[in-house]
Amino acid sequence: MKKIIQNCPIIIDTDPGHDDALAILLLEKSKMFDIKAITTVAGNSNIQNVTNNARYILDLIGSKTPLYSGSEKPLKRELIKAVVHGDSGLDGACIKVQENISDQAISKIISIVRENPGEVSIVVIGPETNIARAFISDPELPRLIKQLIIMGGAITVPGNKNRVAEFNIFVDPEAADIVFSSPVKKVMVPLDVCNDIILQMTDFERLKGSKLYEPLSKMMEKYIAGISAGEKVSGALMYDPLAAYYLINPAAYEIEQMDVKVETIGELTRGMTVADRRIWSDHESNVDVVTKIDAKSFIDDMLSILGDRKSLS
Ligand code: BDR
Ligand code: CA
């Protein structure tokens, strides 16, 4: 992949999270974007912890990207936190700061989009609560956003939270329903493609000699232990950086258009992303679903960018 400086305006809406940390670092260190804000949402841990974690990640690379905290709980439900990232949401990181909590995320998302109509891409890698609240406050907003890149959902594979639902959608299905029903352009990176891209500690050794090697190794050791205990998979699942990498190298992705709705009522199916896969269906598609990713390009480029190696694959 040739590195092209795009400088497009983006927002990262996130609940860091080990894989969120990689996604943020990847986008920041690529230097390809004008990152207008990082907005946090409760998900992997509570809003205080995930906001502290976001600040820690930005401080690791001396980034001055504005950070705003957002929703402390889902629209209509109590927060159910993740297990694999540990209690702090980012076990293995040395968190010392206590960041101010302001709930400014929603007003900032609205003002950034309104100041740059049709230009802003939002990387949505936590529950969709902030985005849904922005859409409720400003119903014109979906048509003013360039695209949402959403890590979430499962099309043909089992869920990673309940039998059928992926964590981000499971946590706030009502918010996801608002987002999926809205006319905003959506690119969905579901578990189907994420389940296949897993890194081991030996992969992260390629970062040796770079500033991020030590802190990332400590975080990834904890993440891999959490994934092994929680999901019975051995290695670090690359959920959120796969959404981030779409902006860096969309040519590495295959897409299929589908009509996807979110289950908010089912007792066993809370948060299921139900795709209409009937060949005779006449429903219009509402999401670009990623069906394949060039794993080698992703891994090589991500480790090159994080490790400050200039030449990308
Ligand atoms: C998603 O859930 C979170 O735990 C991860 O950060 C990712 O966004 C994967 O299901
Ligand atoms: Ca996340």
Q: For 172-205, how does the pLDDT look when each residue is reduced to its tens digit (9 = 90+)? A: 999 999 999 999 999 999 999 999 999 999 999 9
Instruction: For residue 99, give the DSSP letter.
Output: -
Q: Is residue 3 part of a domain?
A: no
Q: Is residue 253 part of a domain?
A: yes
Closest to 95 in 3D by CA, of 215, 257, 243: 215
Give the per-residue pLDDT at 161.
96
pLDDT at 230 over 70: yes
Give the per-residue pLDDT at 167.
98
Cα 115 to Cα 128: distance, rounded to the nearest angstrom = 22
pTM: 0.97
Q: Is residue 89 part of a domain?
A: yes
For ligand 1, atom 2: residue with the closest CA: 167
Identify any residues that bridge with 9 across adjacent strands, giving them in sequence order.
34
> CA 229, 92, 66, 147 torsion: positive or negative?
negative
pLDDT at 136 over 90: yes
Q: How many C-beta atoms lie closer than 10 Å to residue 34's C-beta?
A: 13
Q: Which 3 state secondary structure label does DSSP give 310?
A: coil
The pick from 15, 164, 189, 224 for probing ligand 1's pocket by mutation, whose C-beta has the most ligand atoms within 8 angstroms, reads: 15
Q: Is residue 2 part of a domain?
A: no
pLDDT at 312 over 80: no
What residues are neighbours of ligand 2 (ion), with CB under 5 Å?
Answer: 15, 17, 20, 125-126, 240
Q: Is residue 23 part of a domain?
A: yes
Closest to 242 in 3D by CA, of 232, 254, 260: 254
Q: Compute the average pLDDT of residues 61-84.
A: 98
Q: Is residue 313 part of a domain?
A: no
One-letter amino acid of 136: I
The pick from 44, 91, 129 for probing ligand 1's pocket by mutation, whose C-beta has the most ligand atoms within 8 angstroms, reads: 44
Q: 90 lies in which domain range?
A: 8-306
Q: Compute the average pLDDT of residues 249-258.
A: 97
Closest to 50 in 3D by CA, of 14, 25, 24: 14
Q: Is residue 260 part of a domain?
A: yes
Expressed in angstroms and rounded, the spacing between residue 57 Cα and the centre of ligand 1 is 17
Number of domain units in the chain: 1
Residue 246 backbone dihedrals phi, psi, to 5 degrees: -55, -40
Helix or strand (DSSP H, E) at 40? strand 33-40
Give the per-residue pLDDT at 292.
98
Cα 284 to Cα 49: distance, rounded to the nearest angstrom = 40
Contact 300, 311 (CB under 8 A): no
One-letter amino acid of 292: K
Give the per-residue pLDDT at 6.
73
Residue 235 backbone dihedrals phi, psi, to 5 degrees: 130, 175
Give the per-residue pLDDT at 5.
61
Give the per-residue pLDDT at 283.
84
Expressed in angstroms and rounded, the spacing between residue 292 Cα and the centre of ligand 2 is 20
The DSSP-derived string for 112-130 is HHHHSTTT-EEEE-S-SHH
Cα 127 to Cα 40: distance, rounded to the nearest angstrom = 10
Give the per-residue pLDDT at 164.
98
Could you tell me the two tokens for 174? 């009502």
Cα 18 to Cα 126: distance, rounded to the nearest angstrom = 12
Q: Compute the average pLDDT of residues 93-106.
A: 94
The pick from 240, 242, 272 for probing ligand 1's pocket by mutation, whose C-beta has the most ligand atoms within 8 angstroms, reads: 240
Average pLDDT, the chain: 96
Only one residue has tokens 């990176």, namely: 189
- Alpha carbon 301 to its chain's center: 18
Contact 204, 220 (CB under 8 A): yes
Closest to 182 in 3D by CA, of 282, 271, 262, 276: 262
pLDDT at 51 over 90: yes
* Ligand 1 atom nearest to CA at 161: 10
Q: Which protein residues are within 6 Å of ligand 1, measured from CB?
A: 17, 19-20, 44, 82, 125, 151, 160, 166-168, 239-240
Cα 183 to Cα 141: distance, rounded to the nearest angstrom = 10
Q: Is residue 224 part of a domain?
A: yes
Could you tell me the two tokens for 285? 């598609």
Q: For 1-26, how does the pLDDT look when each residue is reduced to its tens digit (9 = 90+)? A: 555 567 999 999 999 999 999 999 99
pLDDT at 268 over 80: yes
pLDDT at 281 over 90: no
Contact 115, 132 (CB under 8 A): no
End-to-end CA distance of the chain: 5
The proportion of the chain whose per-residue pLDDT surpasses 90, expressed as a percent, equals: 93
CATH number at residue 64: 3.90.245.10
Could you tell me the two tokens for 145? 């956003």
Cα 190 to Cα 289: distance, rounded to the nearest angstrom = 7
